[in-house]
Amino acid sequence: MTDQLAIREIADDDIAETIALWNAAGVARPWNDPARDIAFARRDDHSTVLVGVEDGRIVASAMVGEDGHRGWVYYVAIALERQRSGFGHIMMQAAEDWLIKRGVWKVQLLVRADNAKAARFYEQLGYRDTQSVCLQKILEV
């Protein structure tokens, strides 16, 4: 299983293909600019985007980073035709390893309330609902 998927940090040439994966998998949102999100995750060593490559094609991704307090994972996406092949599990393990290497001991992520499929996936990996509400505000930068 792991032999099929090579995991590495995203490179400049991977960006368009990664955004296409996000669109196909349904993790891209019209109000988020994916290219901006990728550039921001790559701006320093607090975060990155990991991609999973199979037969030269990007079929998996996970954005991972730490904010000085907790680890966070975003944009976990597997190509539609490769879902339920264990790739999601492998990408989450790679994201957790990235955090563990940096001494981060708690990781969290956001799951949209209507994404029961993803919630079951994360629960199976040991993630639990913190019974918190996520509040957000857009800042002018």
Ligand X SMILES: CC(C)(COP(=O)(O)OP(=O)(O)OC[C@H]1O[C@@H](n2cnc3c(N)ncnc32)[C@H](O)[C@@H]1OP(=O)(O)O)[C@@H](O)C(=O)NCCC(=O)NCCS
42/89 with CB nearer ligand X:
89
Per-position b or e across 85-97, b if 16+ CB within 10 A of its CB: bebbebbbebbbe
DSSP state of 84: T
Residue ranges binding ligand X (CB under 6 A): 25-27, 76-78, 83-89, 111, 115, 117-118, 120-121, 124
Q: Which is nearer to ligand X, 11 or 80 (CB)?
A: 80
DSSP-assigned letters across all residues of 25-74: HT---TTS-HHHHHHHHTSSTTEEEEEEEETTEEEEEEEEEE-SS-EEEE
Residue, CB closest to ligand X: 88
- Residue 102 or 120: which CB sits closer to ligand X? 120
Q: Closest separation between CB of residue 30 and ligand X, Å? A: 16
CB of 130 to ligand X, least distance (A): 15
Nearest distance, CB of residue 133 and ligand X, angstroms: 17
Between CA 123 and CA 136 the distance in angstroms is 24
| Rounded least distance, CB 141 to ligand X, Å | 25
